[in-house]
Amino acid sequence: MMFTGKTKTASVFCLLLAFNVYAEMKGTGDLGIVIERAIGQVKVINTSKRIDIGSIEGLGDLSHASAVFSRDERYAFVFGRDGGLTKIDLLTSKISKRIIQAGNSIGGAISQNGKLVAVSNYEPGGVRIFDSESLDMVADIPAEYGDERPLKKSKVIGLVDAPGQQFVFSLYDAGEIWLVDMKNPAKPLIRKFRDIGVQPYDALITPDGRYYIAGLYGEDGLAVLDLWNLDKGVLKVLSGYGRGEKKLPVFKMPHLEGWARAGDYLFVPAIGQHAVIVIDPDNWQEVTRINTYGQPVFAIARPDGRQVWVNFAFPKNDHIQIIDVAKMAIVKELVPGKAVLHMEFTPRGEEVWVSVRDEDRVNIYDTDTMEMIAHIAADKPSGIFFTSRAHRIGL
């Protein structure tokens, strides 16, 4: 076959174009985002290289922001306090779509198959569910309760995904847990569990997707729903765990999605106390209590379950303490700086990234030596979220 000059030029151009496209291809498994709360921006980061690779602005009020990821790890869905739901493309560092779906939001979740994104709202209350591709709303579930007309409206907290295309959440004002089956998005099936306790303030689902656990602010204790045995209803556990102790002012509510399942136990921040409570999930009894430097906010387990890293509420929010699970004791105390807000482990746990808001940086620690090995500058960083969350229930 004979090639003309034009044909050769075109062939070379096509090869160069293909090479450039290939060169621009990137994986997503080592990406993540850091919330820069004060400026309504997120920083896209590469965890393997420990660098930031771009910033995305225009995300509104991120004072209590959280995020979930698409199954392919390319997109992050960021939930803002102003009711904003923003879909961002991590490969291009651009906003794909942004909507304002409510007046005041408190977090969200993505469904088991990745096709639905749910948002929990304080105002107007309730949960709204969207198509993850288009962000078109597919369901609006008002959190209305009571016997009088008009019905009362409740703030919604503790929204998580669950197996079987389900979402679970709690009604703060009503003291209820709702389970929503979204197998048919056009006809959500709602099952309500009433009288679970006073003022559930946050919740988690265990990593196997079986137990939904809500913390109670209005009384000591936890409310546990076994998703494998719904007919048993909600079990109240640890009732009165603070009885007889001096009540302390609560400077910041614990974040229960940060609860740790490590080894055979759950490690739970005690509300208003300087302690982490260790629970045996086989019988929901307290095993021991580990005294801490301050009021715990997050107690997060390293992926292998050997360590639990704990940060604290103001005014003692400059410290981190590390619990050795085998010893059931604190083995290391760190002082990263003022206002330690969040911690995130790399997928296999060799590092943990720590946001230090008032120092405008993210510290990176080796979890074996527990020494700081690097840091990244960030503007008032808060939440840190890695794409490995895309493949974990409840995150």
Q: Compute how many other C-beta atoms are within 10 angstroms of the C-beta atom of residue 246.
A: 7
Which pLDDT belongs to residue 26? 78
Angstrom distance (rounded) from CA 378 to CA 253: 24
**Based on the domain organization, do 140 and 216 belong to the same domain?**
yes
> Three-class SS of residue 31?
strand
pLDDT of the residue at 25: 72
Answer whether 179's CB lies under 8 Å from 190's CB: yes
- Which CATH number is 209's domain given? 2.140.10.20
What is the domain-level CATH number for residue 372?
2.130.10.10
The mean pLDDT value of the chain amounts to 91
Model confidence at 328: pLDDT above 90: yes
Q: Say what the pLDDT of residue 240 is.
A: 74
| Residues 209, 73 share a domain | yes
Among 177, 211, 240, identify where a domain stops: 240
Indicate if 66 and 174 belong to the same structural domain.
Answer: yes
Using one digit for the tens of pLDDT, what is the confidence trace for 335-376?
Answer: 999 999 999 999 999 999 999 999 999 999 999 999 999 999
Structure confidence at residue 271 (pLDDT):
84
pLDDT, tens only, 227-267: 999 999 999 998 877 654 556 566 566 666 656 778 789 99
Please state, for a pLDDT cut of 90, what percent of the chain lies above it: 81
Q: Over the stretch 197-225, which tens digit does the pLDDT of each residue have? A: 999 988 999 989 999 999 898 888 899 99
Q: Are residues 211 and 76 in the same domain?
A: yes
Bridge partner residues of 309 (DSSP): 300, 322
Angle formed at CA 44 by CA 42 and CA 45, multiple of 5 degrees: 135
Is residue 202 located within the same domain as residue 315?
no
Task: Measure the CA–CA gap between 191 and 296, rounded to whole angstroms.
Answer: 33
pLDDT category at 148 given cuts 50, 70, 90 is confident
Give 91's pLDDT tier (boundaries 50, 70, 90): very high
Q: Determine the pLDDT at residue 242.
A: 63
**One domain, residues 198 and 133:** yes
Q: How many helices (H) and strands (E) does the chain have?
A: 1, 34
Is residue 49 pLDDT above 90, yes or no? yes
Task: Give the residue-averaged pLDDT of 107-119.
Answer: 97
Average pLDDT rounded to a whole number, residues 125-144: 98
Instruction: Evaluate whether residue 30 is within a structural domain.
Output: no
Residue 285 is assigned to a structural domain of this protein: yes
pLDDT for the residue numbered 258: 58
Quick check: 145 and 172 in contact, CB under 8 A?
no
15 pLDDT above the threshold of 70 = no
Are residue 229 and residue 281 in the same domain, yes or no? no
Q: CB–CB of 293/336 below 8 Å? A: no
Domain that holds residue 339: 258-395
Judged against a pLDDT cut of 90, whether residue 2 lies above it is answered with no
| Neighbour order of strands in the sheet with 285-291 | 260-262, 265-269, 275-280, 285-291
Domains of the chain: total = 2
Percent of the chain's residues with pLDDT above 70: 89
Kindly state whether residue 385 falls inside one of the protein's structural domains.
Answer: yes
**Residue 58 vs residue 21, higher pLDDT:** 58
User: Residue 39 domain-assigned?
Assistant: no
Is 226 within a domain?
yes
pLDDT at 263: 79
- pLDDT the model gives residue 365: 98
Residue 200 pairs in a beta bridge with 216
pLDDT (0 to 100) of residue 23 = 39
Q: Are residues 274 and 340 in the same domain?
A: yes
The model's pLDDT over 299-316, given as tens digits with 9 standing for 90+, comes to 999 999 999 999 999 999
Looking at residue 6, its amino acid is K
My answer on whether omega of the bond before 347 falls inside 30° of 0, hence cis, is no
- Give the residue from 92, 28, 23, 37 showing the smallest Cα distance to 66: 37
Is the domain of 194 the same as that of 141? yes
Using one digit for the tens of pLDDT, what is the confidence trace for 166-202?
A: 999 999 999 999 999 999 999 999 999 999 999 998 8
Residue 71 and residue 185 in one domain: yes
| Total number of residues shown for the chain | 395
**Whole-number pLDDT of residue 121:** 96
Distance CA 308, CA 66 (A): 21
Instruction: State the Cα–Cα distance between residues 204 and 224, nearest whole angstrom.
Output: 10
Residue 253 lies in a domain: no
Q: Are 233 and 262 members of one domain?
A: no
Q: What is the pLDDT of residue 245?
A: 59
Residue 198 shares a structural domain with residue 263: no
